């Protein structure tokens, strides 16, 4: 029996964590896990947020803007691209996270991967669950 290929949306805090350290679950998710194991979903808004925060925090990341751009290009190549045509804002405790929920619903994702699990309370209503990167990697058999 073939294992299910989960669809995910990865919150910005996980992306930034992956850029800051090669040792954690965030790095493993983005750079060391076979992409055949899951489907990553992105939108222009999410990629722009990844870029903005990574470049603003570049002093802590130790990557040049060009290196960040190359990583973002790589993510865009292996991810499903989604456009959001509806808005429910505000729905979540932090309205700045609503676009991630909207992307997860539009892409029919199974999980939102984040370190801020409390920020996504109530998303079960949409058939979604929240996991941190380590929990997700365990679920797909990577750790």
Alpha-carbon gap, residue 92 to 122, rounded angstroms: 8
pLDDT of residue 59: 78
From first to last of the 143 residues of the chain, give the pLDDT tens digit: 566 799 999 999 999 999 999 999 999 999 999 999 999 999 999 999 999 999 998 778 999 999 999 999 999 999 999 988 766 666 787 778 899 999 999 999 999 999 999 999 999 999 999 999 999 999 999 98
* CATH fold group of domain 6-139: Rossmann fold (3.40.50)
Cis peptide before 90 (omega within 30 of 0): yes
One DSSP character per residue, 20-58 reads H-SSSHHHIIIIIS-GGGEEEEE-HHHHHHHHHHHHHTH
Q: C-alpha distances in angstroms, 119 versus 20, 39, 100, 130, 140?
A: 22, 23, 11, 10, 24
Domain ranges (residues) in the chain: 6-139
Tens of pLDDT along 30-68? 999 999 999 999 999 999 999 999 999 877 899 999 999
Q: Based on the number of CB atoms within 10 Å of its own CB, is 118 exposed (0-12), middle (13-18) or buried (19 or more)?
A: exposed
Go through the chain and tell me how many residues it has: 143
pLDDT of residue 87: 64
CB hemisphere CA count around 102 (13 angstroms):
19
Residue 23: count other Cβ atoms within 10 Å of its Cβ: 8
Alpha-carbon gap, residue 45 to 99, rounded angstroms: 8
Alpha helices per DSSP H over the chain: 12-20, 25-27, 44-56, 58-61, 65-78, 98-106, 133-139
- Please give the model's pTM, rounded to 2 decimal places: 0.94
């Amino acid at each position: 029996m073939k294992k299910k290929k989960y669809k995910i949306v990865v919150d910005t805090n996980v992306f930034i964590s992956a850029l800051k350290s090669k040792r954690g679950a965030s790095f493993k998710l983005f750079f060391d896990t076979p992409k055949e194991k899951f489907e990553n979903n992105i939108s222009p808004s999410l990629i722009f947020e990844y870029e903005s925060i990574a470049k603003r925090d570049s002093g802590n990341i130790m990557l040049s803007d060009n290196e960040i751009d190359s990583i973002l290009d790589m993510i865009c190549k292996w991810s499903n691209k989604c456009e959001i045509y509806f808005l429910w804002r505000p729905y979540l405790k932090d309205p700045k996270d609503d676009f991630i929920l909207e992307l997860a619903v539009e892409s029919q994702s199974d999980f939102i991967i984040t370190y801020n699990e409390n920020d996504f309370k109530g998303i079960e209503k949409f058939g979604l669950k929240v996991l941190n990167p380590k929990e997700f990697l365990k679920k797909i058999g990577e750790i």
